[in-house]
Amino acid sequence: MRNYVKKISYPIVMLSLLVMSYVTPLLPVITAHADTEGNTKIILFQNEKGTAQVTSLPDPTTGKITWTIEVEKNQQSAANQLAFSLSEGEQTVLPESIQSNGTPFTYDPQRQQLMEETTSSSFSQMTLTFQTKALKTLTIKSAFLQTEEENGQVKEDIINTTDVAVVLPDNQSTEATSAEAVLADSQEQTEASEKQPATKSSESQPQAESTTASTAIESPLDTQASAPAASKLSSGGSFKNDVPEVDNVLLGEAQYFHIFANHATLNTHTNGNLAVGELNGNVNFGTSIQDGSLATEINYIQKVNTIANSSFVSGTDSRKNKVVFGPSVTVDLADQNQQPAVFVNGQRMDHLKTSEVFQDQSASEPYIDFKKVFSMLQATSERLGAYPQTPGVTKDFTDNNQRVINTARAENDTQEVVLTLTDEQGNPLDDGVYELQNKKTHKEVDEEVTNDDGQVIETDLPEGDYSFVETEAPDGYLIDKKPISFSADTIDEEDQKVVVTLSKTELEKDTPITIKGLTKGTSPVLINVDTEGASTVNIKSQIKLEYTDGTTRNSHETEDFDDAVILWNFINQPENQKLSINSPFQGTILAVGDTVDVHQNVDGSIIADTVLVNAETHRWDLQANETVVPIIKLAAMNHLLSLDTTTVSGTKKWDDYDNKFNTRPTSITVQLLQNGEVFQTKTVTPNKEGEWHYEFTDLPTTDESGQTYDYAIQETPVEGYTTKVNGYDLVNTYRNTETTEVSGTKTWNDNDNQFNTRPESITVKLMQNGEKYAEKIVKADKKGNWTYRFDKLPKYDAEGKEYTYTIQEEKVPEYTTEIKGYDLVNTYRNTEKTAVSGTKTWNDYDNKFNTRPESITVDLMQNGKEIDKQTVKADNQGNWTYRFDNLPKYDAEGKEYTYTIQEEKVSGYTTKVNGYDLVNTYRNTETTDVAGTKTWKDYDNKFNTRPKSITVKLMRNDKEVDKQVVKADNQGNWTYRFDNLPKYDAEGKEYTYTIQEEKVSGYTTKVNGYDLVNTYRNTETTDVAGTKTWKDYDNKFNTRPKSITVKLMRNDKEIDKQVVKADNQGNWTYRFDNLPKYDAEGQAYTYSIQEVAVKGYKSDVHGYDLINTYVEPKTPRTPETPNDPSVPKVPTPSDKSDKPKKIARNAEQKLDDKKNQTESSQTDKEKLLPKTNEESSYELSVLGGILLTMIAFLFYKQKHI
């Protein structure tokens, strides 16, 4: 491995780990000691995050110790900061002279930790070196740090705590390295070493020498050059722990490996993983990474004879490796420079990381039990080999050069059923006999005996519910009679089995076989090859595959096994059979017990006793769940027969007044029941002391099926006695059964039930010695007589004393009872009372109008006569209630009184009596009126649009309650009125009245309170349109603009404008549409147009048409030369002659000026300078005139200088 060398400055870390030493006292503490050279080395941690190990080197001259920590971080922990805390006992140790290769380390005095300065994934391997003072034991706590984003706090994950003891060689001694002071007892060291992960393991590894004080660790330089000293590697566990679904696949563990064999020799590159008992790996192996779909690669090798250093494929983010070696393999995890590396039997593995390597801890606990798996595979091969060829499968071998197998799936197959019988340790049991029964009818369907694998296999069962019942157990075992039930279902179409039977001679032909009709993702195609007992089978037929989706398959490396649906099952092999593959072959080979010699490419798993790879092979795992068809797996267990016996014994007790009546017999008979049936009988008599005792001995505890016997006892009945069984004890009770009876009559003294108070029944209680013994409900018979009778009453108690019987009657309301012997007399006096009560309800808008009185008076009337009255007020909760109590219900003659109530008049209220309740109602009868006027805004009906009448709707709380047709009166006024409208509703809430008007055509209505305003607007429209005519010599001078702007004027105010251009025919038109014809007062608008002035043109408006006439520009006049070009005199204030003089102009000039003024006026007072669109001759004329004027001026000025 590559060593990154970089000098480091100080990283950061220590206080948190010191604190955690108190928080996590249960972290493992591992102690190591020095060898004779003074070096110590120990692994600080080895787990999924990486590996770290430390070496110490004491310096006897200075007393200081140099420490070297080598770290290899896995990718998943590359972003975490690594930190080490150093301490001796409870004292922090300060490191000195810190150096590192790879990531820089520094010491953080605040945290008191050595920690990485950065966490770059580029430095997955690093070495840290530092010195400490002389000490006896250095405690190193390893941790990963991670800063939480939300709060910036550092989260610390302590990985391990390791105590490293320092011992100098015998010829060196310092106070700091005294062996007696630093070595822990051997027991503590043994426990620590068991917890420590391994870096080297071998069955032949020499044991470290033991002393009374310590165990020395061997120096790496004293062993083979490639590996340091170490303890055991971590256990790989078991394959089932890593792949729990292994029990649900057809070939078990073998289905997950390219080569599964007891022995394998690799002479050519093997593209796949291995599970082998013994390996001769002369070339490399491993599944090449193609598309990253294979997430995990597992290899298991129990014994290594040879192995190539380029074996295995390096793990990636998408591919994880796990490699497990047997305990006999020597595995080292560091090189000579103490850098992390993997060595197998001294051979460095280039593609493995130390964290990917594991080792069986003992031969008795292998990662995969080959013997057990091959036993299962043999049973599976035999079971599959019994399948006949599926109907519909065809083999066309007529053309020897184009042999074709057309696959077809079975129809209506049901699931297979496999029952496995084992003992309590899980070992299979043969010779167990099972009866297959219909679960509903319990009729026998089949009978099977478990085979050597402890299995009973049922195939082709009709769909339904079944049970297995064990009828005979293997010798020495108990029968399990509990039925094992299951349901057989029809298999889904895609899971129906496909079985092809083939003779070995067909594979020995040197021509290809094409297998057609394969479907990806379905149950596999099983090809049973009968090897006919041949010692050697030379396979020369090339295997070609065609799938139903139109694809074919050729030999290639892959991680996608979805199309791996071929299983070759070689059956009827003799011992030591050899299969030689001499043509390209595709599909998983199941050849249990065979030697498979590969001389041509093979794609698929190879499962055999021995595999010889002499041609390239490719991993292509079979995709099969439980079997070629779905399987129902059942389990049963038998227990060993038990020879134990038991004893049943008990006593006999007599409860018979101490035999007062001389009824006890001289003997009894006790029967022992075994599972409910009489098993033994004993006659029992009392002993000398009068005690009755029995005992049954040497009783078997279980039956032949292992079911525990249930023992019970019973006694032959003894006349006059009842027997009670308490466990195995008996209690016989004698009771004197002489009986007596009690009877009597019921007499009613209630005026022949005048008040109908007599109940339908009474309850008479029979008292035995003053305590209730029984009771009877008594009713009148058909003749109206009331009688009762208690029969068969025991005359004596348990002690033989006669009972005293009396009677009582349950209380009958309103009656008094007299008992005369056993007769009863009931007398009724009617003293029934009644009460009159009621409530007062006010229906007065919750007293909104303050009309409710403070009290009312309620009169109580008895048969129409007032007998009482009561003033009633509201209580604290505002409720009005009254009550008259203890009123006699009947008069002296037994007639019921009639009670009524009345209320004294309450002003403003009406009273209603509902039974005994009073309801007082107040209604507010106040009324209101709604009236309004109608106003017309319609130009005084200028357009005769006003109707003769309108309809006004009266709305109360937004609902129409009335309407009125309104017309103008004689004065032309429009008014309406709604009178006598209720002002309040039934709840006292004031009504809201509004009005609406039915739509009047052409008008809009506005409601102002109760007044209506109808507005009419004349919406008639008009248009303004016109043309533009140009008089400009047909635009001869190119003066016509590209567009003009026409302004629309309404009543002399501009309201719109339009940019007008010539159309495709050169016509200039404009149009203003949908112009309102009338104003708000009904007056017609006056529309006119104006044109924005066009330079060089004069515009005339004719109606809505425009005429633009081109005006030719005036030619500029040539300036005259002055007669006297003398220099003008500068005028002074006193020189009046110096005033400007008017220049005399001849008549022609005046005429020209006038003409120019006229033209200027006609052209809208435009400037004389032409625009860029006027003719160039005009521009030149103006420029020439200016130039001549300037020349004349210069000439004049020069002459007067």
- Contact criterion met (CB below 8 Å) for 826 and 819: no
* 413-470 pLDDT per residue, tens: 667 788 888 988 888 999 999 999 999 888 999 999 999 889 898 877 888 999 999 9
pLDDT above 90: percentage of residues in the chain = 55
Same domain for 21 and 47? yes
Which of 957, 991, 1016 is the last residue before a domain boundary? 1016
Mean pLDDT of 992-1014: 95
Can you give the pLDDT at residue 271? 97
Can you give the pLDDT at residue 260? 98
Give the residue among 379, 459, 461 at the shortest CA–CA distance from 420: 379
Residue 635 lies in a domain: no
Q: Which residues share a beta bridge with 264?
A: 279, 611
Please count the residues of the chain. 1201
Same domain for 196 and 267? no
Give the residue among 939, 937, 936, 935 at the shortest CA–CA distance from 1077: 939
- Contact criterion met (CB below 8 Å) for 299 and 311: no
What are the strands, taking DSSP E only, across 760-846?
A: 761-768, 771-779, 786-794, 805-809, 815-820, 823-828, 833-843
Same domain for 1067 and 1195? no
Can you give the pLDDT at residue 220? 29
Same domain for 535 and 562? yes
Q: Find the Cα–Cα–Cα–Cα dihedral 170, 171, 172, 175, rounded to 10°.
A: 60
Least confident of 398-412, 432-446, 757-771, 1075-1089: 398-412
Residue 266 lies in a domain: yes
pLDDT above 70: percentage of residues in the chain = 81
Question: Tell me, what DSSP letter sits at residue 1146?
Answer: -
CATH number for the domain spanning 177: value is 2.60.40
Q: Which residues share a beta bridge with 297?
A: 321
- Contact criterion met (CB below 8 Å) for 381 and 374: no
> What gap in Å lies between CA 283 and CA 271, rounded to an integer?
11
- Contact criterion met (CB below 8 Å) for 104 and 76: no
CATH number for the domain spanning 889: value is 2.60.40.1140
Residue 401 lies in a domain: yes
Alpha carbon separation from 361 to 123, 201, 328, 352, 525 (Å, rounded)? 32, 9, 10, 20, 40
Same domain for 317 and 455? no
* 1177-1196 pLDDT per residue, tens: 455 666 777 888 787 777 66
* 926-947 pLDDT per residue, tens: 899 999 999 999 999 999 999 9
- Contact criterion met (CB below 8 Å) for 615 and 584: no
Residue 711 lies in a domain: yes
Mean pLDDT of 590-605: 97
**Does the pLDDT of residue 188 top 70, yes or no?**
no
CATH number for the domain spanning 435: value is 2.60.40.10
Residue 378 lies in a domain: no
Which of 794, 820, 846 is the last residue before a domain boundary? 820
Mean pLDDT of 1027-1052: 95
Between 126 and 532, the more confident residue is: 532
Residue 233 lies in a domain: no
Can you give the pLDDT at residue 923? 85
Structural domain harbouring 118: 15-222
Report the amino acid identity of residue 838.
G
Same domain for 360 and 437? no
Between 83 and 960, the more confident residue is: 960
Same domain for 854 and 869? yes
Mean pLDDT of 901-925: 93
* 961-982 pLDDT per residue, tens: 999 999 999 999 999 999 999 9
3-state class (DSSP) for residue 863? coil
Least confident of 224-228, 675-679, 990-994: 224-228
Same domain for 348 and 272? yes
- Contact criterion met (CB below 8 Å) for 357 and 321: no
Can you give the pLDDT at residue 754? 82
Least confident of 351-360, 701-710, 1031-1040, 1145-1154: 1145-1154
Same domain for 120 and 216? yes
Question: Which of 16-20, 21-25, 218-222, 934-938 is modeled with the greatest confidence?
Answer: 934-938
Mean pLDDT of 767-789: 95
Instruction: Please count the other Cβ atoms lying within 10 Å of the Cβ belonging to residue 352.
Output: 24
Same domain for 218 and 276? no
Reported confidence tier of residue 158, pLDDT bands at 50, 70, 90:
confident
The tokens of 311 are what?
A: 């074996």
Mean pLDDT of 1163-1182: 48
Average pLDDT, whole number, for the chain? 83
Give the residue among 590, 586, 611, 591 at the shortest CA–CA distance from 601: 586
> What gap in Å lies between CA 77 and CA 51, rounded to an integer?
11
Which of 490, 524, 541 is the last residue before a domain boundary? 490
Report the amino acid identity of residue 427.
N
**Does the pLDDT of residue 1157 top 90, yes or no?**
no
* 249-304 pLDDT per residue, tens: 889 999 999 999 999 999 999 999 999 999 999 999 999 999 888 999 999 999 99
Same domain for 880 and 982? no
Reported confidence tier of residue 76, pLDDT bands at 50, 70, 90:
low
Between 1090 and 737, the more confident residue is: 1090
Mean pLDDT of 637-656: 83
Radius of gyration of the chain (CA): 62
Between 161 and 792, the more confident residue is: 792
Can you give the pLDDT at residue 657? 84
Number of domains in the chain: 10
Residue 631 lies in a domain: no
Same domain for 393 and 486? no
**Does the pLDDT of residue 121 top 60, yes or no?**
no
Can you give the pLDDT at residue 159? 78
Residue 377 lies in a domain: no
The tokens of 298 are what?
A: 């597992």
Can you give the pLDDT at residue 283? 95
**Torsional class of 704: left (φ above 0), alpha (ψ -120 to 50), beta (otherwise):** alpha
Can you give the pLDDT at residue 736? 82
